[in-house]
Amino acid sequence: MIACRLRRRRCGLLLVGVLAAGCAPGRRLTVAPDALVDLRALDPSIRVEMPYATPHNFTGVALYPVARCLLRRDVAERLVRVERRLAGEGLGLLVWDCYRPFPVQQRLWALVPDARYVAEPVVRDGRPVAGSKHNRGAAVDLTLVDAAGRPLEMPTGFDDFSEHAHRGWAGASPAARRNLARLEEAMASEGFEPLPTEWWHFDGPGWERYELLDRPLTE
Residues 92, 84: Cα–Cα separation, whole Å: 8
Candidate residues 68, 100, 136, 201; the one interacting with Zn ion per rule CB under 5 A: 201
Nearer to Zn ion, 136 or 201 (CB): 201
Binding track over 150-189 against Zn ion, x by CB under 5 A: ----------------------------------------
Candidate residues 34, 83, 141, 159; the one interacting with Zn ion per rule CB under 5 A: 141
Nearer to Zn ion, 27 or 167 (CB): 167
Nearer to Zn ion, 31 or 50 (CB): 50
DSSP annotation of 182: H
Minimum CB distance to Zn ion, residue 201 (Å) = 4
Q: Does 100 contact Zn ion by CB under 5 A?
A: no
Cβ atoms within 10 Å of 181's Cβ, excluding its own: 11
Strand pairing class (9-14; 2-6): antiparallel
Minimum CB distance to Zn ion, residue 186 (Å) = 17
67 class by beta-carbon count within 10 Å (0-12 exposed, 13-18 middle, 19+ buried) = middle
Give the closest residue to 79 by CA, choosing from 141, 155, 167, 154. 141
124 class by beta-carbon count within 10 Å (0-12 exposed, 13-18 middle, 19+ buried) = exposed
| Binding segment toward Zn ion, per CB under 5 A, in 31-39, 117-125, 140-148, 203-211 | 140-148
Residues 79, 9: Cα–Cα separation, whole Å: 29
Nearer to Zn ion, 165 or 172 (CB): 165
Enumerate binding residues for Zn ion (CB under 5 A).
141, 201
